[in-house]
Chain A
Amino acid sequence: MIVASSKPFQEIKQMLSGFKKVCVLGCGSCVTICHTGGEKQVTELAVQLRLSAKLEGREVEVIEDSTLRQCEWEFIEDIKEVIKDCDAVLSIACGIGVQYMAERFPMIRIFPGVNTTFMGGPVEQGIFWERCAGCGNCILGTTGGLCPVSRCAKSLLNGPCGGSQNGKCEVSQETPCVWHQIYDQLDTQQLLATMETIVPPKDWTTGMENHPRKMILEHLVMKKQ
């Protein structure tokens, strides 16, 4: 899932300053699950915006809504009526949803309410870790199911580096050294010998280096009328 964190309220306030009618729009998938862009956060942000305006003696109307996914044209079509009188929309979807909204409703200012941060998951309630860098060339089959591209600070493929100390990364003591974990996992699986195979330099053109990336499923593409 895509993980996003809430933007500081001051930044949001600044973006929306001067607008008289604002819609806070949530998204019902990834950002709901990571507790930053769902219905509950819509309510919390809306009441903050109203309260802030009240404290400063400003008049702002804030409406609240949410869609199943903001990254689908059909779903955001339903929002059309809701936001028709709005000056601005604060989308608390990931960056994809914000862009879909901006593209579909070019006459309304669309602002992001969250910072889209990474692809990951809740390793425990309330704690989300990055687990995938979207490199476009997955090697998890050789690393015991642990991704060094996203979980090693240096994205090393033949790690660990000299900064691995007591199983922790030198960048942060909170971060486990993934190569230490990979070693342990392969040991458990009696596959340590595979570590002796040198992994050649990765083709990074399948990843972030080559954006914007695109995927076409020929068999599903509908011919335009």
Chain B
Amino acid sequence: MTVTNKCATPDKKINEEAPCILACPIRQDARDYVQLIARGRFGEAFRLVRERNPLPAACGRICTHPCETKCRRNSTDAPIAIAWLKRFLGDNFSEEIRKTTTEKYPERIAIIGAGPAGLAAANDLALLGYSCTIFESNSTPGGMLRMGVPTYRLPRTAIDNDVEFIKKLGVEIQYNTTFGVDITFDSLKKKGFSAIFIGVGLLESRMLNIEGAQLDGVLKGVSFLNEVNTTGSGRIGKNVLVIGGGAVAMDCARTALRLKPNKVSVACLESRKEMPTTDFEIEEAVHEGAVLYNSVGPKRIIGKDGKVTGLETLKVKYVFDEQKRFNPAFYEGSESIIEADTIILAIGQASDLSFLKGQEGIQVTRGGTIIVNPHNFSTSVHGIYAGGDVVLGRGTMTEGMAQGKKAAIAIHNTLRNTAIKDEKWAEKPAVPDVIPSRIAFIKKEQKQEMPTMPLDERLSNFDEVELGFQLNAAVKEAQRCMNCGAGAFVDDNLCVGCLTCVRICPFEVPKIKKGDATAYIDGDCQSCGLCVVECPAKAIDFKTPLEDCGKDALEAVFQEESIRGVKPLIINFYCQYSACNEDKIDATDNVLFSHVRRVGVLGLGKVAPSLYLRAFELGAHGVMVTACKGDICHFCKDREWVERRIKFISQLLGGLGMDPGRLRTHFVSSQNGKEVFELAFRMVEDIRNLQTIT
């Protein structure tokens, strides 16, 4: 329309954010990279992940994925495997990121510790234009990822690949350099560093102050993991007991199992439901053979001849008191003994702040964490910043990265006297839960299983247990995503209140609110695109530019040099929902390679009938539409709409005097199988035989 010809500034229409994005400490663009995978745009998906997340391959493996906890697919069947999809990208793609800076600032920043917080801070500061040097006491990067996380969960190549990317941004890492020994605050200042970021993590295991804790055979969890992770072996006996119920305890148990003792058990205060780690990690530990003792508290470690023989426990009454504070209480007289010759303490970590000697100005808490201003991550000493576990006391990998990223902006703002903000962290309302009455309209789709190493193989080595998604599984999993918060929206300036969207939506989402004359589409939109195409006023569009409904892809085909002079040229519009149903057959046939070009759309309901005409206008000699057969498609109603639109366009083509055989529709079970290639081949042959093709 002349007044406002296009749906103006679509991004502003996103008033509600996807819960998966809001749940992530670094506000990773989960929905959008999943949507890109669903469309087979892997390189772009990887770039999107990497632009926000400096450690995608590692994060895709060990993140506790709060995004999945909040995923709105929980209400229909099961959440999208967001983390596994990120791992799929991190493992298989390595596109260069587009986000780089032309600014180069003279200040140099020192980062202490090459863990998640330090690496994230260095990554983002480098992108902002600063020279960064990371000082790491170990000989390899990763911090607790390397020291604490077992290789069967996180192969070291994943860390190394991620860190290589960070180094490509110009970040320097000095290994074997211990802060407080090889370098100090003063030496760094003398070397000309303008700011120092401390991200040293929590390297010490918390000790248990009970009788027998000094006995031979009592090990610290982090030290045990570090030893096994670096040497491949550990000094344990035949009967190992891990004390603790968190992620580190599970890591200790599963690591111990691989050293082949007779028995590995885990004792923790919490009940099974209260355990502070993911179900998945507990289930895997149990699956591999660990015995769980829930709701028991350690009373004393018993021993003989200075060596551990077991743990005397008390039954737990409750772990958290009425104020929900950690305050365990026990039943008197409930003592019992768990026999063990090795006890591994995994009850939390503590900091080693010995490097602060001579820097008494830096305030620390009684618990041994560094105090920072929560807004700018500055410690009590000017120019010294801190973040990650050493500030949080305990945190996940993504929480550590988030601190590093936020600190990077704060350091930049201080050095440049600016106030830039990362809009991703702005407060936004989340897309509400799916309205119960609509759940029945949404197709249930089986979550893809993560392939794992068979049990009998995994306990004999430290190889990775989860094998990662293959391409087809990744795409199918991504195609379950409901694209929350990025669906269709109605431009009030263009809507004429015709009610078409209200009447045709298979999910009954568009509504005319009381007192309004225009339609409103809420967060339950499933992005099928039917209303976008059918709106007679073109008042409906998708909120993000990701969905082009096949338009850009079609135009791109006709930019290719290779199609010049090709006769006949067939454009195949196909539904991407059935594009990964079987392994791809390489189109080696010369006829298909030169005569057929494919335009994939996630649901053909998104394709306007005029686009088929546009293909002819641009120079196609035939248009072949291959839609999903039966109920394969994510959008079950699409078949009906494809049929009626093709009928409509066939009539228009008839009016233009074109042979009806130049537009064909087929419903197929796979877009890459033999069936489609044969159909395409036949169409090429048939059109070749037509008398006239223009």
Contact = CB atoms under 8 A, between A and B. Distances in A.
Q: Do A and B bind each other?
A: yes
B102 interface: no
B68 to A, nearest CB: 38
23 contacts: A9-B655, A28-B537, A32-B536, A33-B496, A33-B497, A33-B498, A33-B536, A35-B536, A39-B494, A40-B534, A40-B538, A40-B610, A43-B608, A47-B613, A48-B613, A50-B617, A51-B616, A52-B656, A66-B1, A66-B2, A68-B1, A82-B2, A122-B499
Nearest to A80: B2
Contacts of B503: 124-125
Interface in B592-616: 608-610, 613-614, 616
B504 interface: yes
Contact of A9 (B3, B608, B616, B652): B652
B656 A39 contact: no
B504 A125 contact: yes
Given A26-B1, A43-B538, A65-B2, 20 more contacts: A8-B655, A32-B496, A32-B498, A33-B498, A33-B536, A40-B534, A43-B610, A44-B609, A44-B610, A47-B613, A48-B655, A50-B617, A51-B613, A52-B656, A54-B617, A55-B657, A55-B658, A67-B1, A79-B2, A125-B500
A28 B5 CA distance: 12
Interface of A: 8-10, 26, 28-29, 32-33, 35, 38-41, 43-44, 47-48, 50-52, 54-55, 65-68, 78-79, 82, 122, 124-125
B694 interface: yes
A44 B694 CA distance: 20
A35 B534 CA distance: 9
Interface string B477-512: 000000000000000001011111001100000000
Interface of B: 1-3, 5, 494, 496-500, 503-504, 534-538, 608-610, 613-614, 616-617, 652, 655-658, 694
B694 A55 contact: yes
A211 B535 CA distance: 35
A39 B504 contact: no
Contacts of A124: 503
Contacts of B496: 28-29, 32-33, 38
A83 to B, nearest CB: 11
Contacts of B657: 55
Contacts of A66: 1-2
Contacts of A48: 613, 652, 655-656
Given A9-B652, A10-B655, A51-B617, A40 B2 contact: no
Closest 5 CB pairs of A and B: A38-B536, A9-B655, A39-B538, A33-B498, A125-B503
A100 B660 CA distance: 39
Contacts of A82: 2
A124 B656 CA distance: 30
Contacts of B610: 40, 43-44, 47
Contacts of A9: 652, 655-656
A37 to B, nearest CB: 8
Which has the most chain B C-beta neighbours within 10 Å: A51, A67, A125? Answer: A51
A66 B493 CA distance: 13
Contacts of A8: 655
Nearest to B493: A68
Which has the most chain A C-beta neighbours within 10 Å: B498, B609, B652? Answer: B498
A11 to B, nearest CB: 10
Nearest to B536: A38
Nearest to B617: A51
A67 B2 contact: yes
A41 B536 contact: yes
A32 B536 CA distance: 6
B2 A47 contact: no
A32 B503 CA distance: 16
Contacts of B694: 54-55
A29 B535 CA distance: 13
Contact of B537 (A38, A47, A50, A78): A38
B421 to A, nearest CB: 38
A47 B656 contact: no
Contacts of B537: 28, 32, 38-40
A82 B2 CA distance: 9
A9 B2 CA distance: 25
Contacts of B658: 55
B550 to A, nearest CB: 14
Contacts of B656: 9, 48, 51-52, 55
B655 A68 contact: no
A64 to B, nearest CB: 9
B655 A40 contact: no
B375 to A, nearest CB: 48
B654 to A, nearest CB: 9
Contact of B535 (A40, A54, A79): A40
A38 B2 contact: no
A67 to B, nearest CB: 6
Nearest to B500: A125
A91 B198 CA distance: 69
Contacts of A10: 655
Contacts of B1: 26, 28, 39, 65-68
